[in-house]
Structure 1
Amino acid sequence: MSIPATTSQVHGPAIQVQGLEKSFKQVTVLRGVDLAVPRGSIVALLGSNGAGKTTVVRILATLLRADTGTARVNGFDVATQAAEVRESISLTGQFAAVDEILTGRENLVLVARLRHLRQPGAIADELLRRFSLTEAGGRRVATYSGGMRRRLDIAMSLIGNPPVIFLDEPTTGLDPQARIEVWQAVKELARGGTTVLLTTQYLDEAEQLADRIAILHEGRIIVDGTLDELKKLLPAAEVEYVEKQPTLEDVFLSLVGAPKEQEQR
């Protein structure tokens, strides 16, 4: 059962972050992150490896405590109302957390029973249908492709109907076809009204999925907007015959800078 939302929670952002800072010993990872995620939207937190994306998600999921700043998820403060935050969220990490010995359906039934939900079988069958896994539901997960495992992992995260889901680089290590399958599953989440905060280092993934894109660089959000808004940050292309529209890659590199020569080798 998902945690009920108050009137103020329903009307406010699903995620509200202000001035978030975090250091690990002498290494400063977050330097004052501000972010708002509207309800029912997909927001991509885009950044290079080491930019602090996972640290932000771990703080929002109450797995880490920020040094400075505030964060609210579903209207609850992550520092003072951690239990309520955990009731409101689901977190899917970079690697699928499924039991390969069990079938897909058994994985779903197990999680539903652990959450003390009624009719776990019916819940499992509905999620298998929703993520196009019905035919594979009776097979052991060890026989699944990477994309199927990832879709099952996301389906498991929906048990209990959490209003907010964190997807931390959900397509890491997947082949192109599997990535497309996961993209379709994420779009299905938003169509169902779930708020998704997606971290990724893949520019095309942010382009394909996100309603808004926030670029995290050196511990700060340096820009936050729709894809069209981000493209307008670059000057219009001057061409003689055909105007080339800027890509998200053009925007990203113009903001964070091209890799240093030694990093390109």
Structure 2
Amino acid sequence: MEIMHFTDGINPRVLEESLKLAIAEAPAMIGQNIDRESPLLALAEAEVGILLGGSLRMVGAGARQVFNGVMCDLKVGVIAAIDDEGETPRFAGFIQYKPRLLTEGVASIGYAAVVEEYRGKGVFKQMLEELKSKYTVISLDCPLELVPFYEKLGFHADNIQHAHVGMSNGPLSGITWMQDQEYLENQKPYQQAKAAIRDKLGKRTAAAYAKRDADTRKRVEEIEAMLATRGVESAGRTQQPA
């Protein structure tokens, strides 16, 4: 397995395959609790396509922005796993991350996934080890069901990130940055997905959103209960829109 690390630009095929894989796994990638049968699935897919696609295109782009009065480089990195044992190299998975601002040696994973046939074979661990060789402390968020997996890799659940569990492998410093909901609402693919849902569901549209919100609140309660058993207060992490 070849592990590739992109910081100064990204291979077009890796960009395409990462985006395709993440969109296919959209229910596990977003901050609301939905499943693959949800009539709002297209909205989740649009969200992942917009946010991850934007991040991938920022790899090596040299973007900068002022945070807390300091001009900061908005860096994005991607680590990809490529199965190079056959005649044709095959994409096996990726990690997209951002170094946290106003600190050193700390990064936050934004999106990560492994192709189904490569799961359980240590592919994610190999990519994570590459990331840890550059950043000592790493944060991420994941669905409740994946907490045991990440705990085996040295992460600890320490907060709630929407309907996900926030985890880290050490004390966090600095801040991470992200696009906010207002940014999403202004993106044409997101607007088109919402319009398609309204056209399809009609009067049932409000009920679909209400169910998503109710399921999300229930999941948050489940995460709060899990954190309570670990003696952790359910606070969110410091992050700012970009």
Q: State the TM-score, normalizing by the size of structure 1.
A: 0.29
Which of 1 and 2 has higher RCO (CA within 8 Å, sep 6+)?
1
Larger CA Rg, structure 1 vs 2 = 1
